[in-house]
Amino acid sequence: MTDPEYNLLVVDWDFFFPNPSYGAAIDDRALLYDWQHAETPFLVENIWSHRAEGFLRYDLPLPMCEGYEGFWNRFDFGDDPAPLLYGDSNVHSGLLRPSSFGWDAEVWTKVSLWDAHHDCGYSGTLEKWKAQGAMECGSWMLKHHELGSQLEVIYPPWRTKIDGIETGPLIPVPRRIDDGTNPDTVYDAIYVCRSGAWVPSWCDEQFEEFLGAYSEFGREIPGNEWTQPRPDPLPDARRSIELMKLTQTKIAELGLNDRR
């Protein structure tokens, strides 16, 4: 008798946020995406009014998530809806096991990551990662590799290439750009990551639409820390722009620009 197989689908919300820094088409907004990324409260919660300001200052539309409509219809979840967990960080994905959902198994047969990044480690070596014993949002796939799961990474269709955009991975892992075909794997569980340090807070309503399109019974993963939706960044962005304009007007009135 063979052991049952369980497969995990992990979807990072930044899969649907075209970013020129990671291979999306270059347009007149490209330089405004020169963002630092780290899962800190400041970059998740507070930075977005400043970043929105850059777009508003030049009368450019805010970038939004694209292509998430109908996404769930591409997958086979068997006879019953697969349980869905969600949170802000993908580090939770490294902690999930079939036993997390009540099944008698500790290792996923397959972990499929749909993401703009591969999360298989971006610096050092696999041996160094093992020695450190730390799992982060950029290395959680290494834990499933260590356990013996089959891994795959599917990049969004807006990425222009697989290599040359990000460093790594630290392990051999099949990677491809999504070509629109439906996977032939049956998935037993789902984790969805909001990636609040990568995807703007003005996309949070879209994120809720995405979750709701699958099931109203999804659950927030234990240990998650976030605000959803995050505060609207646009009022602060607009106030900052108005203050800048007022300051420029006062400087011009005082003739300070003419001083040498």
CA-nearest of 182, 203, 173, 153 to 13 is 203
Structure tokens at 234: 């646009």
**Residues paired with 8 in a beta bridge:** 111, 189
What pTM, to 2 d.p., does this model score?
0.91
Query: How far from 195 is each of 7, 37, 150, 225, CA to CA, in Å?
Result: 22, 10, 24, 12
Higher pLDDT, 22 or 105: 105
Q: How confident is the model at residue 194 (pLDDT cuts 50, 70, 90)?
A: very high
- For residue 256, being part of any structural domain is answered with no
SS3 content of the chain, % helix, strand, coil (to 5): 35, 15, 50
Q: Report d(CA 95, CA 193) in Å as an integer.
A: 13
Q: Is 129 left (phi over 0), alpha (psi -120 to 50) or beta?
A: alpha
Q: Degrees (nearest 5) of the Cα angle 128, 131, 137? A: 70
Residues 1-36 pLDDT 10s:
456 899 999 999 999 999 998 888 888 788 888 776
pLDDT at 221 (0 to 100): 97
- For residue 57, being part of any structural domain is answered with yes
pLDDT above 90 coverage of the chain, percent: 72
- For residue 241, being part of any structural domain is answered with no
- For residue 253, being part of any structural domain is answered with no
- For residue 255, being part of any structural domain is answered with no
- For residue 104, being part of any structural domain is answered with yes
Residues 143-186 pLDDT 10s:
999 999 999 999 999 999 999 999 989 999 999 999 999 999 99
- For residue 27, being part of any structural domain is answered with yes
Q: What is the distance of C-alpha 118 from the center of its chain? A: 11
Query: Is residue 137 classed as helix, strand or coil in its secondary structure?
Result: coil
Structural domain total, the chain: 1
Q: Report d(CA 260, CA 252) in Å as an integer.
A: 14
Q: Which domain holds residue 66?
A: 7-230
Residues 6+ apart with CB under 8 A from 209: 68
Residue 260, pLDDT above cutoff 90:
no
- For residue 96, being part of any structural domain is answered with yes
What's phi and psi for 250, nearest 5 deg?
-65, -40
Q: Report d(CA 202, CA 64) in Å as an integer.
A: 8
